[in-house]
Structure 1
Amino acid sequence: MRTRLTVVVAGVVVAALVVVAAVVAVSWWRGRDETQLQEATAYAPADAQRLSWTDWAGVRTAVKADLDASSSAGDVETFLDQGFDRDLTSTSALVQSAGVLQEHFGFSPATVQWELFSQSEQGAVVILRMPDGADLGTIAAHLEQSGFAKPATDALGGQVWSGGGELLPSIGADLTPELQYVALDADRHLVLTSDNEAYLQSTVDTLGDGSLPAGMQDVVDASGEPLSAAVYDGPYACKALAMGQADRSDQAEADQLVAEAGEVSPLTGFAMSAQPGGDVRVALGFENADQARTNADTRSVLASGPAPGQGGEFSDRFTVASAAADGDVVTLDLKPVPGSYVLSDLSTGPVLFATC
């Protein structure tokens, strides 16, 4: 009986280990398939309406910048100038603060892996992913040395370091208000900052618990591995990119162009992203696949003609390499004209091909 029981128990243990191994393998595979943008947006607050993404490690590679924590503020500024020339830095909340960050905070675009800036009517937060080997204890020491009030407990586990608006000017000029409060999450290798202490703590407390609206998630999934991107939910996109911002003559021209192009449906999500090869991808979300198929044609026509509200023709800025519908999402792959700034110019309105 003892022998039989031992065999049975051993069999149960082996079976359990097999199940655990399978779960680990699936988790590893899913993590392997997940893009960095998808990883970042999984941390965004549930109320996010506008997301601005910068893959800083990818941008450093793209411009061949060799930087680390010991690089000078001048070297960081040179890197940012190179990134600006490639239209890869317009989505960052940290550009104007980069030199001071490098010298006084222990992190900056020279060392951060990626940055996600989330905005909503309730608040805003910058989420930064540090490399796996980064020592957040060093960042904590920088914060304390710079005058931030240390949390009473759990300094590396998500409690907020308090600075405030009066502290920042004493550290250095041009620091964005989004750096007034800082939280460090050593387990996830994250640094989070905000101009609102309560909103930052709420974000930390619910990190990874929320989910983006379906239309927003769809366009994130369609954006691949961009170096920088602007992502909006449907209502924000239809407001921020609306032709209603243009003057009357441009609005009249836009109405005529839309009437000639065909049916245009409201957006459920919008993303414009700079891809590693130099192209710009636009992802437009719709209520259903039928709307997406129809809008693939109309949006392609609108993106290939005049650009009322922007001036001139869209062909002065890019050519439409492809337009396709996949499920509820339309993707337009654009090839920028050399010297044009498609992402920074067209991620704010009015933009005819993103009209609702």
Structure 2
Amino acid sequence: MRRPALAWSRRRWLVVGAVLAVVVAALVMVWVVRDDERTPLEEALALAPESSARYGWTDWAEVRAEVGTDLSAGSTGAEVDDFLLEAYDRDLTSATALDDSAAAMQDDLGFSPATLEWELFAQGGAGALLVLGLPEDADVDALRERLREARFIEPDEDDGVWFADAGKLQELSGPVTPQLGAIEIDEDAGIVYASDDPGFLGLRADVARGDVDDPVGRAAAALGEPLAAVVYTGDHACGELAMSGADPVDRTRGAELIEDAGGVHPLTGFAMAARADGDVRVALVLDTDEQARADADSRSRLAAGPAPGQGGTFPERFELGRVTADGTLVTMDLTPVDGSPVISDLTSGPVLFAAC
């Protein structure tokens, strides 16, 4: 007996609907898994302004553990400075914007590298933003009271912007970066935002990067969960790390070395990080897979040779480990030699193997 057309149509749409439900459920599951797999650095990058060109990341909780210090909200500013000196000796403070301000922050503001979970400092042409992760047991009411005592102008709303001009900041017990002049507390998320520009801070949610797949995000993802890291856009890397900053003799020598190595291509993303195992990872993002494969070879040759513009050679600074090309991403693992400050040394130009 032939099935009625209407019944068949209903059955067909029921099947299609069931298939769609499974597909949607699968997509939701993939999204949740991907979201759960994001590192703290990737999650923080999503909160940074889209206009940012340079990002500095410090996982303060892990840095404290690495140094072996036992600090708390009751620690003194002097104790925090001692901790930062130890972290500096291990090349773990090159990405922070808070090093010179840490003691006064601890004594006067109630939060500092002694208690923060992590810090992301994002800079770009439109402005700069500090994104600071509070510990789970943070006393936000006490933090607000400390800001009142420091004579910050209090906002009408709990999630508004606290403001202190340069004169009020100078009245604190020690130097404090203007980047802490405007502060916003997101109590639900456990995050403090800060900027030297209250207007820019007020726009932070509207201009945030979000969870985007771009060269900056791919470079950051390749770092894993670093103790400290810098991440640059391609344009910033090509300006900050360019051999054009070297003297004429070094520029000429650098050009010769690049030609001998097979040439390099412009970067679209750059990142360098200190990892918990003591190694340094470099992540370079190129335009195409072919460029990445070619640059994995040429940049390996450059990283194993002379370092014009910086002096000496790269092998005096680090041992070059595994270099891989995966799609448009090149990763290079470096082992510092005799405690060499590789990140501090190689995140400002001229850096030959990161040349554009």
Verify same fold: TM over 0.5: yes
Aligned residue in 1 for 2:12: none
Task: Report the secondary structure of 2:166's partner residue.
Answer: coil
Structure 1 position 139, deviation (Å): 1.1
Structure 1 position 172, deviation (Å): 2.6
Residues 264/19 of structure 1: CA separation in 2 closer, same or farther (3 Å cut): closer
Structure 1 position 27, deviation (Å): 6.7
Matched residue type, 1:201: G
Unaligned runs of 5+ in 1: 1-17
Residues 190/253 of structure 1: CA separation in 2 closer, same or farther (3 Å cut): same
Structure 1 position 19, deviation (Å): 12
Structure 1 position 208, deviation (Å): 5.0
Q: Is residue 2:71 matched to residue 1:70? A: no
Task: Report the secondary structure of 2:263's partner residue.
Answer: coil
Once the two structures are overlaid, the 10-residue window that deviates more, 215-224 or 205-214, is: 205-214
Structure 1 position 28, deviation (Å): 6.0
Q: Do the aligned residues in 1 keep the contact of 2:103 with 2:174 (CA within 8 Å)? A: no
Q: Do the aligned residues in 1 keep the contact of 2:48 with 2:209 (CA within 8 Å)? A: no
Structure 1 position 339, deviation (Å): 2.6
Aligned residue in 1 for 2:125: 121
> Structure 2 CA distance, aligned partners of 1:190 and 1:261?
46
Q: Is residue 2:97 matched to residue 1:96? A: no
Residues 162/319 of structure 1: CA separation in 2 closer, same or farther (3 Å cut): same
Q: Deviations over 1:220-277 (max 9, x none)?
A: 1111111001110011100110000000000000000001000311000000110111
Aligned residue in 2 for 1:308: 308
Aligned residue in 1 for 2:57: 53
Q: Deviations over 1:7-39 (max 9, x none)?
A: xxxxxxxxxxx9999999767644432111111
Q: Do the aligned residues in 2 keep the contact of 1:46 with 1:211 (CA within 8 Å)? A: no
Q: Deviations over 1:280-326 (max 9, x none)?
A: 11100000111101100001000110000000000110011111101
Tell me how large the CA RMSD over aligned residues is.
2.0
> Structure 2 CA distance, aligned partners of 1:179 and 1:333?
35
Q: Deviations over 1:29-76 (max 9, x none)?
A: 444321111111111111111000000001001011111101111221
> Structure 2 CA distance, aligned partners of 1:211 and 1:303?
32
Task: Report the secondary structure of 2:236's partner residue.
Answer: helix
> Structure 2 CA distance, aligned partners of 1:320 and 1:110?
34
State the identity as a percent: 46
Task: Report the secondary structure of 1:314's partner residue.
Answer: coil
> Structure 2 CA distance, aligned partners of 1:207 and 1:121?
13
Task: Report the secondary structure of 1:79's partner residue.
Answer: helix
Q: Do the aligned residues in 1 keep the contact of 2:50 with 2:208 (CA within 8 Å)? A: no
Residues 160/327 of structure 1: CA separation in 2 closer, same or farther (3 Å cut): same
Q: Deviations over 1:85-143 (max 9, x none)?
A: 11001110001111111111111000000000000011101110112221222211110
Task: Report the secondary structure of 1:316's partner residue.
Answer: coil
Aligned residue in 1 for 2:255: 255
Aligned residue in 2 for 1:82: 86
Q: Is residue 2:222 matched to residue 1:222? A: yes
> Structure 1 CA distance, aligned partners of 2:355 and 2:95?
21
Q: Do the aligned residues in 1 keep the contact of 2:64 with 2:70 (CA within 8 Å)? A: yes
Unaligned runs of 5+ in 2: 1-21
Q: Do the aligned residues in 2 keep the contact of 1:89 with 1:228 (CA within 8 Å)? A: yes
Residues 35/249 of structure 1: CA separation in 2 closer, same or farther (3 Å cut): same
> Structure 1 CA distance, aligned partners of 2:135 and 2:38?
17
Structure 1 position 213, deviation (Å): 7.0
Task: Report the secondary structure of 2:250's partner residue.
Answer: helix
Matched residue type, 1:217: G
> Structure 2 CA distance, aligned partners of 1:229 and 1:312?
24
Q: Is residue 2:169 matched to residue 1:163? A: no
Residues 24/130 of structure 1: CA separation in 2 closer, same or farther (3 Å cut): farther
The 5-angstrom pairing of residues 1-356 of structure 1 reads 29-153=33-157, 155=158, 157=159, 159-203=160-204, 205-206=205-206, 208=208, 210=210, 214-356=214-356
Matched residue type, 2:49: P
Q: Do the aligned residues in 1 keep the contact of 2:106 with 2:114 (CA within 8 Å)? A: yes
> Structure 2 CA distance, aligned partners of 1:146 and 1:31?
38
Task: Report the secondary structure of 1:315's partner residue.
Answer: coil
Residues 264/182 of structure 1: CA separation in 2 closer, same or farther (3 Å cut): same
> Structure 2 CA distance, aligned partners of 1:298 and 1:84?
32
Task: Report the secondary structure of 1:90's partner residue.
Answer: coil
* Runs of 4 or more above 2 Å deviation: 18-32, 205-213
Residues 330/21 of structure 1: CA separation in 2 closer, same or farther (3 Å cut): closer
Q: Do the aligned residues in 2 keep the contact of 1:299 with 1:354 (CA within 8 Å)? A: yes
